[in-house]
Each structure stands twice: as structure tokens, then as C-alpha cells.
Amino acid sequence: MSGFQVTTLGQFIIERQSEIPGVKGEFSRLLRDIGIAAKIISREVNKAGLAEILGETGNENVQGEDVKKLDIIANTLMIDCLSKGGECCAVASEEDEHIIPITTPQAKDAKYVVMMDPLDGSSNIDVNVSIGTIFSIFERVTPLGSTPTEADFFQPGNKCLAAGYMIYGTSTMLVYTTGNGVNGFTLDPSIGEFCLSHPNIVTPKTGKIYSVNEGNKADFPAGLNTYIDWCQQIDKDTNRPYSSRYIGSMVADVHRNLLKGGIFIYPMTTKKPKGKLRLLYECNPMAFIIEQAGGRATNGYGKRILDLVPTELHERSPILMGSEEMVLQLEGMLERETQAQ
């Protein structure tokens, strides 16, 4: 016996394929293609410091943000892997203003579309802070064989078939759900395989970590400042306040809170009335994962993130997500102070 007891991502995808109603080999092959892209992006991210590809291209993306070379590399790699695999007919990416139809002959009849943030948190690349890729898979709603349209992407998150993220940190992990729980895989570079390291991730019902950019405090809705003040009171059980943890990289912040318990908040502010994070390829996929792990994800004003119906490709939404009791507590404060106004 070789002692090789781990389950690889490829084995896991095949083993669990039968759990997802109505999907067959195409879906599994699409997940495999994303796993391949993850390995290549991980290689590029981990050599960034050496390959002089740090720094900016001098270009701006559709969001008006400086685009780092790695953003472009990750975006291109994901699209190339999805194109080669032939199971995806179109992609919506944070890096591209419009949807990207995949024009290979096989893709024409593909059933699925992918929404992605190819490299989230990229402002952290040059300071060696963990960054990530966020993806989700939906079934197209336009007729098979026709040219994909934005209608294929304006689906609420509750129609999502799979959502996941890669986090390029001290190790590279891929965490995803297909609606049957959340599982985490750690890349073993020595064999080039993602190995099941965090089976059936369940997030704690409460926690002691709150994650929000308090630099925007003057701009927060009233109830949020009440909540932050409450978090900072001496806790009767442990005699210490909650911990504030915010690294400015959504994947890293949400991943930590997913495992340890906590709340991640990107609220509406007077300057950003719909918040900053994008609904299609940041809020929805992360909300699907959080809910599948037993947590809660809303826009702070009574709407479940996954029930929001998108009308623009790059629209934004305020988001509170993480441990259910913490999210409910903050929602209560927001509601009370909104009504009091």
C-alpha cells in the first residue's frame, strides 16, 4: 500500500457528480477545467515577486481600477482553460466590460456560463498579502447553440449550480460548493494535485471576529456604528472585546471567518450607496458558500443576497455575511436605527 490516502479534487468531483440533479460529465469537466486554471494561476501568483511581473500595466479595468499584470494573466488563463475545456459558452469577468462568448466549435453547444473575479484583492499583490479567484457556474437560459447574452448572467444567485474560490496564501486552496455542503482542497505542489483537506466545512453559528473597513466609519449607516461599538465593549464571558480583522482582500477575510466564525461587512455608505462589492462575481458566489456552510448572507436591509435579481453586469450590493447569529444581530441594529430615522 503506497499510503497515498488523500482524495484529489478530480476524484472528489467524479464521486460527487451523482449528487447534483441533472448534471453529467460536462459539469464535472467544467469543474476540472477550473481546477486546472487554479494550478496555473497559483504558479503565476507565487512567482510574481521573481518574474518582475509585479507592478501595474498602466491600464484601468472597467471599474476604473489600476490593473496589475497578474489580473490580466489570471483573467486570460481562466478564459483559456474554459475555452479549451469546451463546457462553458460564455464568461462574465470583473476585468471585462461586456460578457465574453467562447467561440470554439465545442463551446457553441455548451450548457454553462461562468462568472468570475479572476484575481480579487489585487491591490495586495505587491505587498504579498493573500489574494484569490472567485467563480460561479450557472446553466445558460438562452437556447443551446444560440449566441449567449447578458440574460444568461442576470440570474439570481439562488440559481447558481456551483460557486467557489481559490486563495493564494501560505498554501493555495480551492474551496467550493455545488449545493451539497462546502469542501476545501489544498494544493500539493509536489504532485500537482488539489487534495481534500477541509471536508464538509461548517461555519460556527457565532464568533468573535468582525471584518469591516473602519476607515469609512464616518460614512457608515447608523446601526453599523452601534454594532461596532458593541463589538468593542468588554465581553462578559472572556472579558475582552471582539477582534477586528480586515485585510482588504475579500477572499482572505471571508475564508478566515468561514473557518473561525465571524462577520464580514461591506456596507452601503453615503459615498457608495450600493456598497463596493459586485453582486454577480463577488457577493453571490461567496454568499452561496457561506449559506452552504450554515451561515447567513444579506444586503443588510432584509434581502438575502442570493435572492437579488441582477440588472447590470457589474452592479454592486452591500453585504453582511458569516456567522448567522452575528449577521442577525447586526441586521437588527440596522433595522432599528433605520426605522428610528
C-alpha span between 328 and 326 (Å, rounded): 5
Near ligand P6P in 237-266, by CB under 6 A: 248-250, 253
- Among 149, 96, 156, 101, smallest CA distance to 280 is for 156
Nearer to ligand P6P, 104 or 123 (CB): 123
Q: Are 177 and 289 in contact, with CB atoms under 8 Å apart?
A: yes
120 binds ligand P6P (CB under 6 A): yes
Enumerate residues 6+ apart whose C-beta is below 8 A from 1.
Answer: none
Judged by CB under 6 A, the residue of 121, 267, 300, 322 near ligand P6P is 121
> In degrees rounded to 5, what are phi and psi of residue 132?
-155, 170
Contact mark string toward ligand P6P, 6..45, x via CB under 6 A = ----------------------------------------
Q: Are 200 and 186 in contact, with CB atoms under 8 Å apart?
A: no
Per CB under 6 A, which region of 10-18, 44-52, 116-124, 231-239 contacts ligand P6P? 116-124
The secondary structure element, H or E, covering residue 267 is: none
Per CB under 6 A, which region of 35-43, 118-126, 189-197, 301-309 contacts ligand P6P? 118-126
317 binds ligand P6P (CB under 6 A): no
Residue with grid cell 475564508, as numbered in its chain:
255
213 binds ligand P6P (CB under 6 A): yes
Q: How far is the CB of 112 from ligand P6P (least distance, A)?
A: 25
Nearer to ligand P6P, 121 or 300 (CB): 121
63 binds ligand P6P (CB under 6 A): no
Q: How far is the CB of 81 from ligand P6P (least distance, A)?
A: 22
Enumerate residues 6+ apart whose C-beta is below 8 A from 245.
Answer: 209, 210, 211, 253, 256, 257, 262
Instruction: Give ∠ CA 141-301-329 in degrees, rounded to 5.
Output: 120
Q: How far is the CB of 198 from ligand P6P (least distance, A)?
A: 21
Eight-state DSSP code of residue 291:
H
197 binds ligand P6P (CB under 6 A): no
Q: Are 55 and 68 in contact, with CB atoms under 8 Å apart?
A: yes
Nearer to ligand P6P, 148 or 285 (CB): 285
Chain contacts with ligand P6P (rule: CB under 6 A):
120-121, 123, 213, 248-250, 253, 276
